[in-house]
Structure 1
Amino acid sequence: MKFVSQLLQPLLTIPKNAKIKNTEITCKSQKLLLECGLIRPTASGLFALLPLALRAVDKLEALVRHRIEEVGGQRLSLPALTAANLWEKTGRMSEELLKVQDRTGRSFVLAPTHEEAIADLLADVGPLSYKQLPLLVYQISDKFRDELRPKHGVLRARSFRMLDAYGAHASHEHAVTTYHRVTDAYQKLFKDLHLKVYRVAAECGDMGGSESHEWQLPAPAGEDRVPTDGGSVSSVEVGHTFILGTRYSATLGAHCVPPSGPPQPLHMSCYGIGITRLLGASLEALSTDTALRWPAAIAPYRAILIGPKEGSKEWALYDPTRVSELYEELSHTTSLRGDLLCDDRHQMTVGKRLLMADKMGYPEVIVIGKAALETPPRFELRASGRVQLLTWPELMMALAGVETGRATAQI
């Protein structure tokens, strides 16, 4: 069983306009993630992801991997440190990059992205035959940026999780074809999350290339603007995609062998999604000022079971042993396997634990309350803004997604 009492979840009460370890509270997602014990600041712009937050990140990464691999992505892992001379060759050395030197004085960059590293890798293993193309590789890893003004918690941090994927192609036309396939996968990902993310044409900037799009999620704390049917709104950039052309491949010697003629520079494309930024932005978009609201697919736990208060009438029939039996039965349903939490803080009232569960934003809350003493016993299911009182078989059917036909009340 997974118990709330055993979680590493340091709950906080943050006074208005408070500062915690030099971290200004500037948006609701940051405030709620701190208050609910999901993240903890370690320095300005740096955060520890605690167990509940990391469960959500793991779920999000699994969805991203599924969609990228569905269009042919192959997973790899590149070192966080990239030789600084590669960035110098491409002209991208800047103040935003975190730089280090080893004991011999050789310079490295703690990379925020890996276009140089990928082009260098393809040069090392190439030239590739046109028959091996298109090639799409990706990784999800920690990235680093020396942000001048880190703010909004995980929305603009110095260390962050990111998907970065790279396409290699024999021609610009092939790069465009892959670009459309991958951006279609982006659309499917955001549909999985039930988020309305806008694809917006953007400047290529320092990245270079012929085409790029930002992926913007409307959210109050956003520092960008996205046009909508009713005029523009604040938004957060959660992804960026580019057709790069031969900028990196020509500079760093990454080539392919065409059907005839000499080797030619590869045509490249790249695709980024800020994993931790998307997590924070989705909470910023969906949450209330006082309670987290998750895309259901990435909530840390799908459901939480709340047993009766110790010493209550319900306690006589539903003590910890009986609650454990019900938990085990629920856990064997396919929909809740590995995704159910038990609030075993029986010294607290059911009402107080309900308030805390609501603030955490669990998609489904199962309560053993007064109706559990009826004949037959009925159990409370709170989900999607409504309350249902269900018998045990009805509850199991509802959790499996089967409509019970019972009357419901709005929460």
Structure 2
Amino acid sequence: MRFLSQIFQPVITIPKGAKIKNTEITCKSQKLLMECGLVRPTSSGLFTILPLARRSITKLENIIHHCLEEVGAQRLSLPCLTSAKLWKQSGRIDSVGPELIQVEDRHGKRYLLAPTHEEAIADLVADIGPLSYKQLPFLLYQIGNKYRDEHRPKHGLLRSREFSMLDAYSIHASDACATNTYNVVTDAYKKIFRTLDLPVHRVQAPPGDMGGRLSHEWQLPAAAGEDALAVCPSCHHAARARQPGACERCGADTCAVNSIEVGHTFVLGARYSEPLLAGFVAPDASTAPVHMACYGIGVTRLLSASVEALSSEKALRWPAAIAPYSAVVIGPKEGSKEWSAHGFDRVQDVARRVEQNAFRDDVIVDDRHQLTIGKRLMMADRMGYPHIVVCGRGALEAPPRYELFRSGDAEPRALDLNELLATLADQRIRQPVDAGADYGESAG
């Protein structure tokens, strides 16, 4: 069990229009994450992820791990540094150019801090190949830090120079097989966003510098988004568009909304395998380039985008599955009448029972008993904990009753301990993926 007084959470107050270490405050998610002690800028476009935000990211990574492992993906870790010669072979070093952070070692060999790993995967396949068609298809993935030399980093984690990303790559003997796996991974993406309860739209998009024959962006509506969608309120179809019009699917009028790209998927064909000589041996003993597809989700961007979409200007709101803690327990103020009857030992017992019955290892106790309940309740609401349990005046009753505040509820509920535990356990059961499952340390 964790106690809030022991959490490293450097809360700050940012004056309106302020700049913090050359970081302009340009959106509410950036402001709230910094003010609430979840991230800290180190320089333009670079951030330290502090413990509570790190917990949320770990939960998000666990959801992604679960959904990808469920469709047969295999996890690996690739180096952050990729040889520049591979990007020259693919032709991307010039087209992507200014966004690449390049370095040179003491031997004069050039590398880049990879923003993505298509070349590295194709080189891996080439190095161990040619593969037999019997070894195909397979799906590899990692979650790690990526790098992009943004011309003007902004919006905090939404557009930074270093960011955490899921990148996955599937290898195939045919375009039909690549398309089939693409559809399977699309279903996994849908489960990820359904677990987060976020209205993310898959929209067809140009492949751009990545190349390939098919590309989809995964867009989350949010006012601070720099992309735009036309969304049909009737059939919920969405398309990239700056202006509303008639929906191509049902003909109804669409609505224009700003959005944030949180993922991108591509069917690449031989775009990388051909120049990098990644091939396979067919049943007739002929050789051909493998077909590839790739899949990305910006993990830190998705975290920030979800906060951007759900929060108010004054308080954080999380997808329940990735809140830093699912529940916080607030005890009476020290020295009060309630404290005499329901002191710290009993507060800890309530928290322990909530952990055992509902949120395993996911409950924190606000043990700052020198503060009033009202003050701590206000701070807990600003942090956006999905469930706030208050041991207040009702704890003097027989049996004791506890106030349960939940995000989205207009009023708290007064419940005895059994009712409280049953209500919270029901919330846990409704989660389609256990965000607290242990999938090991994240790469990077």
Equivalent position of 1:409 in the other structure:
none
Please give the secondary structure, in 1, of the residue aligned with 2:273.
helix
The one-letter code sitting in structure 1 at the alignment partner of 2:262 is V
How far apart are the structure 1 equivalents of 2:43 and 2:342? 45
How big is the shift at 1:207?
0.7
- The equivalent residue for 1:277 is 301
C-alpha distance in 2 between matches for 1:341 and 1:391:
20
Q: Give the CA deviation at 1:321.
A: 2.3
* Structural mapping, 1:3-402, within 5 Å: 3-93=3-93, 94-229=97-232, 230-333=254-357, 335-384=358-407, 385=409, 386-401=411-426
- Alpha-carbon shift at residue 62 of structure 1 (Å): 0.5
Q: Residue 406 of structure 1 corresponds to which residue in structure 2? A: none
For residues 374 and 24 of structure 2, the distance between their equivalents in structure 1, rounded to whole angstroms, comes to: 32
Shift of 1:400: 1.1
Contact 1:80–1:111 (8 Å) recurs in 2? yes
Deviation sequence 1:77-127 (CA, Å, 0-9, x none):
000000000001111111100001111111001000000000000001111
SS at match of 2:150: coil
Using the size of structure 1 for normalisation, the TM-score is 0.96
5+ long unaligned stretches in structure 2: 233-253, 429-444
State the one-letter code of the partner of 1:398: T
Structure 1: how far apart are the matches of 2:427 and 2:47? Answer: 40
Distance in 1 separating the partners of 2:336 and 2:280: 74
Which TM-score applies when normalising by structure 2?
Answer: 0.89
4+ long deviations beyond 6 Å = none
**Does the residue aligned with 1:321 lie in a helix, a strand or coil?**
helix
Q: Distance in 1 between matches of 2:115 and 2:79?
A: 11
SS at match of 1:398: helix
Give the letter for the 1:213 counterpart.
H
Instruction: Note if contact 2:353-2:421 (Cα within 8 Å) is conserved in structure 1.
Output: no
Query: SS state of the match for residue 67, structure 2?
Result: helix
Q: Distance in 1 between matches of 2:427 and 2:158?
A: 37
Q: Is the 8 A contact 1:198 1:226 kept in 2?
A: no
The AA in structure 2 aligned to 1:158 is R
Compare 130-139 and 377-386 and name the one that shifted more. Answer: 377-386
Within 2, Cα distance between the matches of 1:202 and 1:138?
22
Query: CA–CA distance in 2 between the matches of 1:75 and 1:172?
Result: 23
CA drift at 1:402: 8.0
SS in 1 for 2:78: coil
* 1:174 aligned partner, one-letter code: C
Moved more, 9-18 or 382-391: 382-391
Do 2:342 and 2:396's aligned partners in 1 also have CA atoms closer than 8 Å?
A: no
What is the alpha-carbon distance in structure 2 between the residues aligned to residue 331 and residue 72 of structure 1?
Answer: 32
TM superposition shift of 1:327: 2.2
Partner of 1:408: none
Looking at structure 2, the residues matched to 233 and 326 of structure 1 have their Cα atoms a distance apart, in angstroms, of: 44
For the 8 Å contact 1:53–1:300, the answer to whether it is kept is: yes
Helix, strand or coil for the counterpart of 2:9? Answer: coil
Count the aligned residue pairs: 402
Q: Name the SS of the counterpart of 1:358 in structure 2.
A: helix
Hey, what's the Cα distance between the residues in 2 that align with 1:388 and 1:362? 16
Distance of 2:351 and 2:63 partners within structure 1: 27
Moved more, 321-330 or 87-96: 321-330
Deviation at 1:291, TM superposition (A): 0.4
Give the AA of the match of 1:112.
Answer: P
Partner secondary structure for residue 209 of structure 1: coil
Percent identity for Structure 1 against Structure 2: 61
Deviation at residue 396 of structure 1 after TM alignment:
1.3
| Partner Cα separation in structure 2 for residue 221 and residue 95 of structure 1 | 25
Provide the rounded CA distance (Å) in 2 between the counterparts of 1:83 and 1:402: 48
Deviations 1:285-332 (A, max 9, x none): 000110000000000100000000011110101222222222222222
Please give the alpha-carbon distance, in whole angstroms, between the structure 1 residues aligned to 2:264 and 2:400: 52
Report the CA distance between 1:134 and its aligned residue: 0.9
- The gaps in structure 1 that reach 5 residues or longer are 404-411
Q: Deviations over 1:210-245 (max 9, x none)?
A: 010000000111000011124221000000000001
Q: C-alpha distance in 2, partners of 1:29/1:117?
A: 34
Secondary structure of residue in 2 paired with 1:138: strand
Give distance in 2, aligned partners of 1:269 and 1:133: 13
Shift of 1:336: 1.3
Amino acid aligned to 1:137: L
Which amino acid is 1:321 matched to?
A: D
Answer with 316-325 or 211-220: which moved more.
316-325
After superposition, the C-alpha distances for 1:32-89 in whole angstroms (9 at most, x for unaligned) are 0001000000010000000000000000000011111111110000000000000011
